[in-house]
């Protein structure tokens, strides 16, 4: 094995040491990551104290991760990596994505509901809302009998499992599309909410003078055998934080028109979703 002759020479020696990796994809990914990291260190002439600080940050991320929090996911989110991975794997013809992050609050087995049923299971006040949706395939043909799993935060920005005031499975439900690919449910208008700021990610956001508030949104997970499961979010068009989402989750396709009906005061959202043909695979639920 070669010996070090300059800072730049270390990369080649390290890459050579990885040559025998049997798994070719692992070899490609780790070699490429190593190259980028070496380049980063050289380009920025990283000091020893900066390196130590970076390692402390990574240790802190692990320590802040537990049963109810996942700081590892959060750091990927606030650096735009989660959104990048989601976008390149769910690209539509316009180069955008109909998909968005699952987020930490999806629960499996939300109640199965009927057409027009309300998922507001306890009186929290807030603006009543009606959501109409249409599920299409890539050829714009409606998809009947798709399952539309929805969940969102309360008017004060809390998910049911974060909030003592809410009933179990409040603001969560599953609906089935009719023969025209449509679904309809009632609820109350969600509010935006901050990502957790009590760990190293909060410290980083503060240092970068970034606010932690996600724009208001409703989560959707749409499935039908023969199609890829679409995991997405539809954001409130009137939210002031659309362009400063701390996790960079908002694309043009994901902004929904949350319109208030002047006569009834009801907020109405009409949105269509496109499913891509593929295998129906569900993610692991982040919480039980």
Q: Which is nearer to Fe ion, 103 or 133 (CB)?
A: 103
- DSSP letter assigned to residue 254: G
Contact segment (CB under 5 A) with Fe ion among 54-62, 82-90, 96-104, 181-189 equals: 96-104
Q: Which tokens hold the place of 32? A: 């490429």
246 binds Fe ion (CB under 5 A): no
Shortest separation between residue 98's beta carbon and Fe ion, angstroms: 17
Contact segment (CB under 5 A) with Fe ion among 65-73, 79-87, 97-105, 205-213 equals: 97-105
Q: Which is nearer to Fe ion, 9 or 162 (CB)?
A: 162
Shortest separation between residue 214's beta carbon and Fe ion, angstroms: 7
Q: Which is nearer to Fe ion, 224 or 239 (CB)?
A: 239
User: DSSP characters for 10-62?
Assistant: HHHHHHHHTTT-SSHHHHHHHHHHHHHHHHHHHHHT--HHHHHHHHHHHHHHH
CB 152 within 8 A of CB 105: no
User: Sheet harboring 128-136: ordered strands across?
Assistant: 182-188, 128-136, 267-274, 259-260
Contact segment (CB under 5 A) with Fe ion among 83-91, 95-103, 167-175, 267-275 equals: 95-103
Shortest separation between residue 90's beta carbon and Fe ion, angstroms: 18
Q: Which is nearer to Fe ion, 177 or 213 (CB)?
A: 213
CA 111 vs. chain centroid, Å, equals: 22
Question: From its phi and psi, is residue 34 left (phi > 0), alpha (psi between -120 and 50) or beta?
Answer: alpha
Shortest separation between residue 48's beta carbon and Fe ion, angstroms: 40
Size of the site for Fe ion (CB under 5 A): 1
Give the helix ranges, DSSP H, for the chain. Answer: 9-17, 24-44, 48-63, 71-78, 81-89, 200-207
Contact segment (CB under 5 A) with Fe ion among 67-75, 103-111, 240-248, 272-280 equals: 103-111
Q: Is 10 exposed, middle or buried (0-12, 13-18, 19+ CB in 10 A)?
A: middle
Shortest separation between residue 80's beta carbon and Fe ion, angstroms: 17
Q: Which is nearer to Fe ion, 103 or 202 (CB)?
A: 103
Question: From its phi and psi, is residue 278 left (phi > 0), alpha (psi between -120 and 50) or beta?
Answer: left
Q: Which is nearer to Fe ion, 216 or 267 (CB)?
A: 216
Q: Which is nearer to Fe ion, 103 or 200 (CB)?
A: 103
Q: Which tokens hold the place of 220? A: 């959707």
Contact segment (CB under 5 A) with Fe ion among 50-58, 98-106, 121-129, 169-177 equals: 98-106
Listed residue (59, 86, 83) closest to 71, CA to CA: 59
Measure the CA–CA gap between 244 and 242, rounded to whole angstroms.
6
103 binds Fe ion (CB under 5 A): yes
Shortest separation between residue 16's beta carbon and Fe ion, angstroms: 45
Per CB under 5 A, contacts with Fe ion among 127-186 are: none
Shortest separation between residue 191's beta carbon and Fe ion, angstroms: 11
Listed residue (153, 161, 282) closest to 228, CA to CA: 282
Shortest separation between residue 27's beta carbon and Fe ion, angstroms: 37
Residues lying near Fe ion in the complex (CB under 5 A) are found at: 103
């Amino acid at each position: 094995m070669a010996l070090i002759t300059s800072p730049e020479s270390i990369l080649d020696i390290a890459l050579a040491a990885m040559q025998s990796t049997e798994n070719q994809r692992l070899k490609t990914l780790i070699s490429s990551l190593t190259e980028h990291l070496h380049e980063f260190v050289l380009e920025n002439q990283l000091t020893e104290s900066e390196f130590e600080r970076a390692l402390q940050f990574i240790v802190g991320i692990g320590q802040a991760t537990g049963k109810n929090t996942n700081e590892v996911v959060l750091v990927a989110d606030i650096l735009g990596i989660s959104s990048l991975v989601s976008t390149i794997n769910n690209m539509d013809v316009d180069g955008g994505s109909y998909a968005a992050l699952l987020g930490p609050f999806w629960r499996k087995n939300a109640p199965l509901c009927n057409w027009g049923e309300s998922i507001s299971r306890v009186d929290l006040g807030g603006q009543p809302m009606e959501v109409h949706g249409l599920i299409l395939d890539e050829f714009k043909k409606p998809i009947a009998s798709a399952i539309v799993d929805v969940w969102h935060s309360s008017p004060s920005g809390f998910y049911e499992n974060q909030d003592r005031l809410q009933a179990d499975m409040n603001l969560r439900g599953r609906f089935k599309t009719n023969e025209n690919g449509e679904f309809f449910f009632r609820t109350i208008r969600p509010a935006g909410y901050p990502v957790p700021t009590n760990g190293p990610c909060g410290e980083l956001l503060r240092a970068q003078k970034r606010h932690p508030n996600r724009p208001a949104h409703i989560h959707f997970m749409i499935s039908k055998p023969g199609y890829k499961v679409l995991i997405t979010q539809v954001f409130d068009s009137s939210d002031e934080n659309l362009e400063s989402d701390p996790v960079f989750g908002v694309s043009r396709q994901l902004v929904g028109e949350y319109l208030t009906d002047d006569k009834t005061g009801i907020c109405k959202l009409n949105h269509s979703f496109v499913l891509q043909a593929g295998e129906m695979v569900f993610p692991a639920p982040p919480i039980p």
